Amino acid sequence: MKDDDLTKFSFDLFWSFRSPFCYLALDRIIEIKRNFDVTVNVRPVFPLAVRTPDFFKNVNPKYRRYHLQDSERVAEFHGIPYRRPIPDPIVQDMETNAIASDQPYIRQLTLLGAAAQIRGEGLPFLDHVARLIWDGSVDGWDQGTHLIDAMNAAGLNGHALIADVNADPDRLEAVIEENQTAQEEADHWGVPLMTFRGETFFGQDRVEMLLWRMLKEGMAER
């Protein structure tokens, strides 16, 4: 790392639109961006359910029960509006845990996220689209103009992002693949995952530790 790079602060944020814990980390990440001179590089990835479809077939049944309980508890602890999405971004049979081969919701969200990433608008995109999906304010987040309205409310051009997806989905798939490769190179598979100067921080409960590390390295307030 060059000496002048030591004065510039940025971290990568690997994000899945299916993860409640990504959403539950969002307010604290935005607060870091607001209060400190740091760049947040949002890097959307497909969730484990898509990348490893058999994962949930083999997982202990207690995993899902605890996951649901813990996400609700974290939301209550931090005072975050929260409800499981309607519809779920992943098409999955909850009786058998089987993952459908066709995944229109998560594919659309992740491609749009990648389009926002390319435009340097990843964090504003998350700020509004993740809330639309997870805060319980609407049923059918995928219906009507909800998604475009959320993107526009973020100061983005929702129609332009959708046009990006329709014009060259292969390019965006390649960006997502690059993100997933970088995530694996960071020696973890989960989200939210933050990486700063070669150090990996996994989970919504590591956001404060990430902040501590960056402050220790000399990150300045705005």
- Rounded to 5 degrees, φ, ψ at 40 are -105, 115
Fold assignment, 3-216: Glutaredoxin (3.40.30)
- 89-135 pLDDT, tens digit per residue, is 999 988 787 899 999 999 999 999 999 999 999 999 999 999 999 99
Residue with the two structure tokens 């390649």: 174
pLDDT of residue 129: 98
Higher pLDDT, 85 or 53: 85
Supply the mean pLDDT for the chain.
Answer: 94
The pLDDT-based confidence of 2 (bands split at 50, 70, 90) is: very low
Question: Could you state, in order of their start, the residue ranges of all structural domains in the chain?
Answer: 3-216
Backbone dihedral angles phi then psi of residue 96, each to the nearest 5 degrees: -105, -10
Mean pLDDT of the region 2-11: 72
Residues 6 or more apart whose CB falls under 8 angstroms from that of 196 comprise 10, 11, 12, 210, 213, 214
Q: Sort strands 39-44 and 10-15 into parallel, antiparallel or unpaired.
A: parallel
**CA nearest 94: which of 104, 84, 108?**
84
